[in-house]
Amino acid sequence: MMETKMSFNASRPPVVASTRLAQRGARGRLQARSLRAGLAAVLTGLGMMSVMAAGGQGGGIYSCVDASGKRHTSDRPIPECLDREQRVLNRDGSQRQVMPPRMNAEERAAEEERQRQRAQAEAARKDAIRRDRNLVLRYPNEAAHQRARESALDDLRKAIASSERQVAQLQDERKGLQAETEFYKGKRLPLKLKSQLDANEAQQQAQRDIIHNQQAEMGRINAFYDTELARLRKLWAGAAPGSLEGEPSPGAAASAGR
């Protein structure tokens, strides 16, 4: 029995056993170093992500709580919170702005309509300012405005006077034609004489219509200048251009017709 035990120990020399133990220790140390290196890499990566999130690369930190109550933080808009407000923070944690929730099609259409109306109102305001400034430049005082009124009415007055003269001439012609009808009392008027009487009456009526239209146009022009004068008096008194939009304003069509 003693010889067998000694034979077994002789098969594993002490040097070989020590070598294997050393190898196991070396492998353990290598594994430990590898684990430490891997952990360092992970920590470095997490650190970089944290810096990016904190700095947002200058874009800010997005923060929100989603529908399930979970808080999210990111350096860009958060998909889970597109249906709700997202706070955008600065590096120091102060709030930079609040990003509104994404709108559905109906909400977008309503917002676009509101923006269109705001744009129209702003354009109208600027146009009113420009129009009032131009008005004051054109008419620095009431005398200048009155001269413009008289000039606009002058052509109409001349047209009315011309039509009135033509009516008077036609009436004189008709007197002569009426005198000729005395020779045909109780008889049928000659076709030529009847045609002349009808033509004379038609021409008189045409001139009367012209006079009526010109008088109506004079009334329209006077109303336009009255409205314009009332506006000018307030502007001359110091009202800011564009501030009288609640006041009657001369129409662009009337202005073009002057």
> Structural domain tally of the chain?
3
Kindly report which listed range (11-15, 92-96, 174-178) carries the lowest average pLDDT score: 11-15
Q: Does any domain span residue 7? A: no
Looking at the predicted structure, is the pLDDT value of residue 18 above 90?
A: no
Q: 154 and 75, same structural domain?
A: no
Q: 159 and 78, same structural domain?
A: no
Q: Does any domain span residue 2? A: no
**pLDDT tens-digit readout, 102-128:** 878 788 788 889 999 999 999 999 999
Q: CA–CA separation, 62 vs 37, rounded Å?
A: 32
Q: Does any domain span residue 63? A: yes
Q: CA–CA separation, 82 vs 53, rounded Å?
A: 19
Q: 67 and 40, same structural domain?
A: no
Q: Does any domain span residue 83? A: yes
- Tokens standing for residue 148: 């413009």
Q: 25 and 124, same structural domain?
A: no
Higher pLDDT, 55 or 164: 164
Q: 120 and 235, same structural domain?
A: yes
Residue 22 pLDDT level (bands cut at 50, 70, 90)? low
Residue 248 pLDDT level (bands cut at 50, 70, 90)? low
Q: 88 and 40, same structural domain?
A: no
Q: Does any domain span residue 6? A: no
Residue 151 pLDDT level (bands cut at 50, 70, 90)? very high
Higher pLDDT, 9 or 78: 78
Q: 78 and 158, same structural domain?
A: no
Looking at the predicted structure, is the pLDDT value of residue 244 above 70?
A: yes
Note the pLDDT of residue 24.
65
- What's the per-residue H, E or C state across 136-193? HHHCCCHHHHHHHHHHHHHHHHHHHHHHHHHHHHHHHHHHHHHHHHHHHCCCCCCHHH
CB 190 within 8 A of CB 184: yes
CA distances, 57 to each of 52, 53, 95, 249 (Å): 6, 8, 16, 54
Q: 60 and 120, same structural domain?
A: no
Average pLDDT for 24-38: 61
Pairing relationship of beta strands 86-89 and 95-99 according to DSSP bridges: antiparallel
Q: 126 and 41, same structural domain?
A: no
Contacts of 124 (CB under 8 A, 6+ apart): 245
Q: 143 and 183, same structural domain?
A: yes
Residue 8 pLDDT level (bands cut at 50, 70, 90)? very low
CB 81 within 8 A of CB 72: yes
Higher pLDDT, 245 or 208: 208
Kindly report which listed range (88-97, 133-142, 214-223) carries the lowest average pLDDT score: 88-97
Note the pLDDT of residue 21.
52
Note the pLDDT of residue 26.
61
Note the pLDDT of residue 166.
97
Average pLDDT for 162-172: 97
Q: Residue 228: which domain range?
A: 112-256
Q: 188 and 90, same structural domain?
A: no
- Tokens standing for residue 249: 């304003």
Q: CA–CA separation, 87 vs 96, rounded Å?
A: 8
Q: Does any domain span residue 137? A: yes
Residue 69 in 3-state DSSP?
Answer: coil
Q: CA–CA separation, 9 vs 49, rounded Å?
A: 59
Chosen domain end from 67, 99, 131: 99
Average pLDDT for 40-56: 41
Average pLDDT for 85-105: 89
Percent of the chain's residues with pLDDT above 70: 72
Q: Does any domain span residue 20? A: yes
Q: 51 and 64, same structural domain?
A: no
**pLDDT tens-digit readout, 192-238:** 999 999 999 999 999 999 999 999 999 999 999 999 999 999 999 99
Q: Does any domain span residue 107? A: no
